[in-house]
Amino acid sequence: MSRFLRPALLVTVVLALLGFGSTPSSAATSITVATAIGRQDSSTASVTGYVVGQPTATSTVVRGNFPNDYALALADSATQTSTSSMLYVQIPTAFRAAYGLQSNPGLLGKQITVTGTLAAYFTHPGLKNATAFTGGGGSTDPGDPGDYYAGAAGKTGAELKAALHTIISQQTKLTYDQVWDALKVTDQDPNNSNNVIEIYSGRSIPKSSQGGGVDDWNREHVWAKSHGDFGTATGPGTDVHHLRPEDVSVNSARGNLDFDNGGTAVAQCTGCTADADSFAPRPAVRGDVARMIFYMAVRYEGGDGFANLELNNSVGNGTAPYIGKLSVLKAWAAGDPPDAFEKNRNEVIYSQFQHNRNPFIDHPEWINSIWP
């Protein structure tokens, strides 16, 4: 072989060494804190660094007597004391128990990796909307605990659906009255523990404002209870994986409509639209709605004395045990992946109330396997 590289090959080698032309799978999986500080462009990145304290103001990071579990500071050195060399990380509710410094002071000096959005926090270079924390001895994403889904391993299509049905059917069932108390925990506003977040409108409303009056919140069945005629019976009628707080008027506007794009604006529900046979929630929760619908179609398969709930690609299903529109719901799920609020809600339902999970929050890829 010639001692000299051909020009084209030489260019290829040089570009590869410089990092051009590499595919995402071969690119580095994380960046340094210094790189993250210099790249505050709202892009998504995984940042690896050492926990050096908790930011409490733009130029203040404490290393003890941590006031809460809301934030931590990362640096490229465990001994760093200059705040200008630190990245301030906002900790979403779902990760505070494992990575908040008030609860885990032993994390100080440990190396961790956080994935999120490179954006200012405390008007300081930061990382927000984190979707994963690893390292430091803490737990990772709260989803998919242990061998919960072992029975579904290696399965696809109808076999996967059957396996998941068996897994998630093992649950504690709530009464309709117990749903009130559960929703005050599962849908608690991360920024105000006295409030819940309404699913469609996104409004934060006092937990005490439950009821049937104007501007109260009540229990919305995302899978409309008339689609299968299960009412509020213990089972699908009380399953908090699809029951959510919602403004009374918006709940009434949705009624038992199927889900689809289009329509006109819905009063008191910014971003929501509806027409004669369909409803669309605000864009930020369209994926959440879709994954709740997919859960119901797998959990309720005609046993327990209830109808076999299924999706179809229609609207105007009325009282039939179907909900659509399947193609739209799949698109919503793909366009709005699970966020920290949704993941935390799944974990709370699993650990505190029903002791079962929504598999499509833990494994969104299973949607296309079951409904190709």
Structural domains in the chain plus CATH codes:
33-134 (2.40.50.200), 150-370 (no CATH)
Mean pLDDT calculated for residue range 46-74: 93
What pLDDT does residue 78 have?
84
The candidate with the shortest Cα–Cα distance to 245, out of 195, 287, 192, is 195
Q: Judge whether residue 63 has pLDDT over 60.
A: yes
What pLDDT does residue 195 have?
95
Give me the DSSP letters along 297-357.
HHH-BS-TTS-B-EE-S-S--TTSSEE--HHHHHHHHHHS---HHHHHHHHHIIIIIS---
Mean pLDDT calculated for residue range 34-58: 94
27-31, 147-151, 188-192, 311-315, range with the lowest pLDDT: 27-31
What pLDDT does residue 68 have?
93
Q: How confident is the model at residue 51 (pLDDT cuts 50, 70, 90)?
A: very high
Task: Give the strand pairing for 44-57 and 111-118.
Answer: antiparallel
Q: What is the pLDDT of residues 317-335, one digit of tens each?
A: 988 999 999 999 999 999 9
What pLDDT does residue 17 have?
37
Within 13 Å of residue 343, how many CA atoms lie on the same side as its CB?
Answer: 23
Mean pLDDT calculated for residue range 14-28: 34
What pLDDT does residue 8 have?
38
Mean pLDDT calculated for residue range 47-75: 93
Q: Are 130 and 74 in contact (CB under 8 A)?
A: no
What pLDDT does residue 351 have?
87
Q: Are 109 and 51 in contact (CB under 8 A)?
A: yes
The candidate with the shortest Cα–Cα distance to 91, out of 75, 82, 102, is 102
Mean pLDDT calculated for residue range 73-85: 91
Tokens 């650990």: give the residue: 351
What pLDDT does residue 127 have?
97
